Structure 1
Amino acid sequence: MSKILQIVLPLALGLFLIWYAYSRFTPEQLGQLRENFLKADYTYIWLSMFFGAFSHISRALRWNYLLQPLGHRIRTPNSIMAVSIGYLLNFAIPRSGEVSRALVATRYDKVPFEKAFGTIVAERIADLLISVCILFTALFLQFDILWGLVDTGNINPGKIGIIAGAGLILALVCYGYLKRTKSAPGQKIKHFISGLKEGVLSILSMKHKGPFILHTLFIWAMYVLMFYICIFAFPETQHLSFSETLSLFVVGSFTIAFTNGGFGTYPFLIAGAIALYGIDYTIGTSFGWIVWISQTAVIVALGSLSFLMLPVYNKSR
């Protein structure tokens, strides 16, 4: 039941937000939304989708650089399919895709689960550093706009700090318990954490740091490009500067990171952010939907194909 609720409740919330947002549109605005979708230049949308696919492939290739110091390797097709399936599963349960990636590596390439998962955590640390750099760059270039979104969204930094502090205290308590316990479950957990730690620290011992860094930069360049190129799909958004587009990208990234792939929230938060630049809300909504649908289409297409092809490719195993 808990697993069902984890899937159903976020999707139900997303559907409610979609209904609530559209219930506020007048018939004329709904007609304008349809016209916006029809007049968009989909050449740029297709380019955006190609950039998204390239980022997935690069992420799959980057993974092996972290596995090599551990004495393991995942075959490239399996790596690409594992990454694609992971993105797809994140739509159902946030962060479940990381677990599924490690399970694919364990099942088909005999990589110990805890080590595979540790390398994925190491990847996320590298990605976090890049995303923080992008965030601070956007704040430096467009501070007033981004802070205005935080202010109007009633986001309380103090509450976030309290939650983070409580999480840290809980982690310290768990660490103290595991350090002293002699129980069998405790020993299993310590063994898992040891393998996880080895996977995370593989980022320090890998031989090919240069290619890993280049792949990381390429992945995030593709992320930014697949968003930026979409502004040329509408005449009303073509005048947006790169710094303005970067601030919109940051808003969208946070939406995707903390929800089921931005389902039900991404288009309307992007519309609210883009309205601060004087662009009509219906244009912003259309822009947000087209960006979200195109990114989602890549994930669904690659993820579904990978689900079908993974057992076929590994038939002998």
Structure 2
Amino acid sequence: MNPTLKKGIQIAISLGIAVWIFWFLYKDIDASSLWNQLQTSNWFWIGGSLLISWVGFWLRGWRWTLLISKEEGIPINPTRSYHAVMVGYLANLLVPRAGEVARCGILTRTNGVSLGHLLGTVIVERSIDLLFLVGTIALAFLFENQLFLELFSGLVNVDSLGEKLGNNLPIVLGGGVVLILFFYFLFRKFKNHGLINKLQGFFRQIFSGVKSISQMSNPAGFWITSVAIWVIYFLTMYFVSLAIESTANLTPGEVLLVMVMGSIGMVAPVQGGIGTFHALVAYILIQLGVSETDGKIFAAIIHGTQLVFMLILGLISWLEMMRIPAWIKPDKD
């Protein structure tokens, strides 16, 4: 099959899934309910969420410059890397995962930094962000462990499960050992299999990414900025929760849990997290006692305002970067 046609089919399927999930969620929501919520929401807080999210975009650009070697091409300043990041967000709204390549391609064009080097820095960024996502999930569990247990018990009878495990402890321990040995020998036997190699490569990338940060000129700046970016994610969600009456009473721990679900929804391979973000955010809000309609409207407002904001900033950044002439490698002769 033609690679272009194959890619087009993948994009169409991804968009189709996103639109279907979104339609399924909102088919019973009256448009007037959404409009009424938009009118009654406190736009001071929504505006604050957009402003602080812009600071987060800029910090992402600055953090990226710390990873890029200054020995390649023209040194990249934070403003230019910020614009490249926003072009990446714009590309992701069109094609899932295209933003990583797009933002690297922009800086290769304007600054002459090799595409391979830039893609390597993006892999490091993504590895660190994954670690922070896992850490945020753990933090949310620490603050809202009772809710986690309630959600889990809705699927499994925790008391019955604990009693059965206690009564069959030797079997459980023995089964655990057998399972560990099974996976150990499975990995050894099929260590050259494509899937096993991908898993090993994935964990090697995370390890090498963390290791490479310690070797850069400003590792402290990188880690502090990474923490600040995830704090900003939380504040963006928290500010919007304050803007809407039905979510204004959520505790910071509950908003953190909503943020975690939203982050997982954004990881899904669909354009801009459309549908998946809304479904997961609305689901957890319903578990927190927010009505189904209000939960879905909250998800639509925060995602919609951020989407429009990123679209505007992305277009501005794209126009700005297109104004810069392409870098030409100097002739050594």
| 1:210-225 map, 5 Å | 210-225=220-235
- Give the one of 103, 108, 111 matched to 1:109: 111
Partner of 2:175: none
Gaps of 5+ in 2: 157-182, 201-206, 329-333
> Computing the radius of gyration over CA atoms, which structure comes out larger, 1 or 2?
2
Counterparts of 1:241 and 1:167 in 2: how far apart (Å)? 47
Counterparts of 1:147 and 1:96 in 2: how far apart (Å)? 37
The residue type equivalent to 2:194 in the other structure is L
Partner of 1:53: 54
- Give the one of 1, 8, 12 matched to 1:8: 12
| 1:128-147 map, 5 Å | 128-146=130-148
CA RMSD of aligned residues (A): 3.0
Partner of 1:232: 242
Counterparts of 2:297 and 2:11 in 1: how far apart (Å)? 27
The residue type equivalent to 1:249 in the other structure is M
- Give the one of 181, 195, 204 matched to 2:214: 204
Counterparts of 1:291 and 1:175 in 2: how far apart (Å)? 34
Deviation per residue, 1:122-156 (Å, 9 max, x gap): 112222222211110111222343466678799xx
The residue type equivalent to 1:23 in the other structure is K
Contact in 2 for aligned 1:119/1:202 (Cα 8 Å): no
Q: Does 1:242 align with 2:266?
A: no
Counterparts of 1:287 and 1:175 in 2: how far apart (Å)? 36
Q: Does 1:18 align with 2:36?
A: no
Deviation per residue, 1:218-256 (Å, 9 max, x gap): 111111111111111112211110001100000000001
Counterparts of 1:151 and 1:171 in 2: how far apart (Å)? 33
Contact in 2 for aligned 1:52/1:298 (Cα 8 Å): no
- Give the one of 160, 164, 170 matched to 2:194: 170
The residue type equivalent to 1:227 in the other structure is M
The residue type equivalent to 2:253 in the other structure is S
Secondary structure of 2:288's counterpart equals coil
Query: Structure 1 pair 113/21, CA: closer, same or farther in 2 (3 Å)?
Result: same
Aligned sequence identity (%): 26
Q: TM-score, normalised by structure 2?
A: 0.76
Task: Count residues with an aligned counterpart.
Answer: 285
The residue type equivalent to 1:64 in the other structure is T
Deviation per residue, 1:192-212 (Å, 9 max, x gap): xxxxx9988642320111111
Contact in 2 for aligned 1:70/1:199 (Cα 8 Å): no
Counterparts of 2:96 and 2:152 in 1: how far apart (Å)? 23
Q: Does 1:284 align with 2:286?
A: no
Deviation per residue, 1:249-274 (Å, 9 max, x gap): 00000001113222123223212211
Partner of 1:190: none
Contact in 2 for aligned 1:228/1:245 (Cα 8 Å): yes
Query: Structure 1 pair 74/248, CA: closer, same or farther in 2 (3 Å)?
Result: same
Counterparts of 2:76 and 2:155 in 1: how far apart (Å)? 43
The residue type equivalent to 2:127 in the other structure is I
The residue type equivalent to 1:42 in the other structure is W
Query: Structure 1 pair 95/175, CA: closer, same or farther in 2 (3 Å)?
Result: closer
Counterparts of 1:270 and 1:277 in 2: how far apart (Å)? 11
Contact in 2 for aligned 1:37/1:286 (Cα 8 Å): no
Q: TM-score, normalised by structure 1?
A: 0.80
Partner of 2:78: 76
Partner of 1:183: none
Deviation per residue, 1:85-127 (Å, 9 max, x gap): 1112122222221111221222211111111111111112222
Counterparts of 1:241 and 1:31 in 2: how far apart (Å)? 28
Gaps of 5+ in 1: 155-161, 177-196
Deviation per residue, 1:32-58 (Å, 9 max, x gap): 333222211111111111111111111
Partner of 2:281: 270
Query: Structure 1 pair 294/173, CA: closer, same or farther in 2 (3 Å)?
Result: closer
Partner of 1:33: 34
